[in-house]
Amino acid sequence: MLKIICLCFTFLISINADASSLLKVHKVDANVFALVGELSQRSKENLANNSTHGVIVTDEGVILIDSGGSYLGAKQIHQTIQSITDKPIKIVINTGGQDHRWFGNEHFKNLGARVIASSKAKDDQAARADSQMMRLERLIGSSLHNTNPMPATEVFDTQKQLNLGSTKLDLFYYGSAHTAGDIFVWMPNKHIMFTGDIVFNNRMLGIGPAQNLQSWIQVFEKMASFKPTHIIPGHGDPSNLQVAAQNTYQYLVFLKTKIIDILDNDGDMQDALKTDQSQFHYLINHETIAGKNAQWVFEQMEFNY
């Protein structure tokens, strides 16, 4: 029995050691960092951290944007933050309801951090916790060890201002995007925007659980109206607004335009699936998600466009 316990403990240490290297640290500005995970599917190796997370080091502690896709994923993020600073994590912001935005909440809450999300995101977290756990059991297996999904403990409806030391953040909810409660986080003194799943860089977005294309387009436009200098997205590398718009906004508008054209010509689902999306084939994962996106948008718009 002792041997089995030791082997399991060694296995978990090995996972943490290997996984820490899968998060790439990008310094965006003084004391502002992006932790960029893999662009592929959730896996045992990446601990469901196939996502990008924001880190702000303030004079009174750390603000973390999105807590990771599992307990071990949260520990991976924490370990990576400790390579940047020894300051404690004081605030965790969940930008939405996808697993990698909040499944690590309990770890950071136990360290004394506040955990904040929009009220819509908290509702979404509670509603989909079981289904997301079942999916992760299939995708990451034993790397789900000790994961106990804990929704955010502080919520706001449309807007919230946060202050930690001399650092000020503004949190905004304007409607559903990839998920029902997606928010963006604005750092006004540095013109840095943390977008969560409102922006996908490097990889093709999926229309997502909210399945509301028009709302996503409008939310992106609201975010873009702040004219950020730097964007830390929900997936992929930090970028400027132009790159974020090319990878996300232009693709959403493209899908809407193509499906409207199909519907105006009395086309059907098969026509939607045949949509030529080759101009976006530079985005990773396009071969597995592009057809599904066209299908989802057609289903949304078929009787309401």
Share of the chain above pLDDT 70, in %: 93
* pLDDT for the residue numbered 227: 99
Report, as an integer, the average pLDDT of 222-241.
99
Helix (H) or strand (E) holding 178: none
* pLDDT for the residue numbered 22: 82
pLDDT of 28 above 70: yes
- Domain locations along the chain: 9-241
Binned at pLDDT 50, 70 and 90, residue 9 comes out as very low
Query: Are 177 and 253 a contacting pair, CB within 8 Å?
Result: no
* pLDDT for the residue numbered 168: 99
pLDDT of 137 above 50: yes
Dihedral angle over CA of 139, 141, 144, 150, nearest 10? 50
Alpha carbons 67 and 74: distance in angstroms, whole number? 6
pLDDT of 15 above 60: no
Query: Are 259 and 301 a contacting pair, CB within 8 Å?
Result: yes
Mean pLDDT of the chain: 94
* pLDDT for the residue numbered 120: 99
pLDDT of 19 above 90: no
* pLDDT for the residue numbered 21: 64
The C-alpha angle with vertex 13 and arms to 8 and 15, in degrees rounded to 5, equals 95
pLDDT of 7 above 80: no
pLDDT digits (tens, 9 = 90+) for 38-68: 999 999 999 999 999 999 999 999 999 999 9
**At the fourth CATH level, which superfamily is domain 9-241?**
Ribonuclease Z/Hydroxyacylglutathione hydrolase-like (3.60.15.10)
pLDDT of 210 above 90: no
Binned at pLDDT 50, 70 and 90, residue 12 comes out as very low
* pLDDT for the residue numbered 3: 42
Report, as an integer, the average pLDDT of 128-149.
98
Q: Measured between alpha carbons, how far is residue 100 from residues 42, 51, 66, 133 in Å?
A: 9, 7, 7, 11
pLDDT of 5 above 90: no
